[in-house]
Amino acid sequence: MTNAVARRAEDLHARYRPGAARAVVMTLGALHEGHAANIRAARERVGPDGQVVVTVYVNPLQFGAGEDFERYPRTLDADVDLALAAGADLVFAPTDDVVYPAGPPLVRVAAGPLGDRLEGAARPGHFDGMLTVVAKLLHLTRPDYAMFGEKDAQQLALIRRMVRDLDFPVTVVPVPTVREADGLALSSRNRYLAPTERDTALALSRALFAARDHRSATGARAAARKVLDRAAEADPPLALDYLALLDPVGLTEVADGYTGEAIMAVAARVGTTRLIDNLRLDLGGAA
């Protein structure tokens, strides 16, 4: 494997250039154009003299019972090729004994109330596992900047809060969601979708785009719900988990008369694949 890949932290650190600004892009692997966009944003952030590190690690702590940990795609060679082509300098692909040398950690980062709703309600313990590995990887990679996609809005909010509350010396940089030509948000799980399931899954982005055309919270909710209700009658059907219109800071549901910026978030299952998406809306209060 290329010399750009490190399996252990000491090998990664040996390739760091003293004084170089450093950005990290954390991934579960199965890299796609969305990850490439994060890597390009990292390169732009640190400049040509900085270093961009991409982590590839399928973290068992953030997968719940019955989720897709075992079948999650592991494509390290292809991931390295994509990462380097997008502008990464190094790929850190640690083994379990590097990330969790004593086995599953007894002390973990707790997501708190912000992690109990939305994705946290659907996937108990997911955010505790996610924050724990992000904290570990921040320590192991020692970046100045950490790039995270806006597609996982709740994840991004929690990471920002952890970094602030626990005084991590890193700047969290959000990167806009990358979509395919038909509007579907890029995700490693899209590859699980059969063609007919993908057709149904397009309702997630279509619902968000329909909501964007409305200036009131009431109108946005109704427009999105109409699209999702139709998709529930499709073959195969879309099984909605939640549709939420949230304030962008605390991620709490906004009232019908709310004005200002909001995030509409949606999660649904098509077949055996669970997908999430979100979009920022500007609500002016008019119908």
**Residue 89 contacts residue 53 (beta carbons within 8 Å):** yes
**35 carries an active-site annotation:** yes
Helices 76-86 and 33-46, axial angle in degrees (round to 10): 40
Output b/e per residue, 213-226; b: 16+ Cβ within 10 A.
ebebbbbbbebbee
Q: Please give the span between the terminal C-alpha atoms of the chain, in angstroms, as a whole number.
A: 58
Q: Using CA atoms, how far apart are residues 277 and 160, in angstroms rounded to an integer?
A: 19
Cβ atoms within 10 Å, residue 250: 11
User: What tokens appear for 221 in the block?
Assistant: 């909710």
Q: Using CA atoms, how far apart are residues 58 and 38, in angstroms rounded to an integer?
A: 18
Residue of 13, 35, 126, 214 marked catalytic: 35
Q: Which residues are catalytic?
A: 35
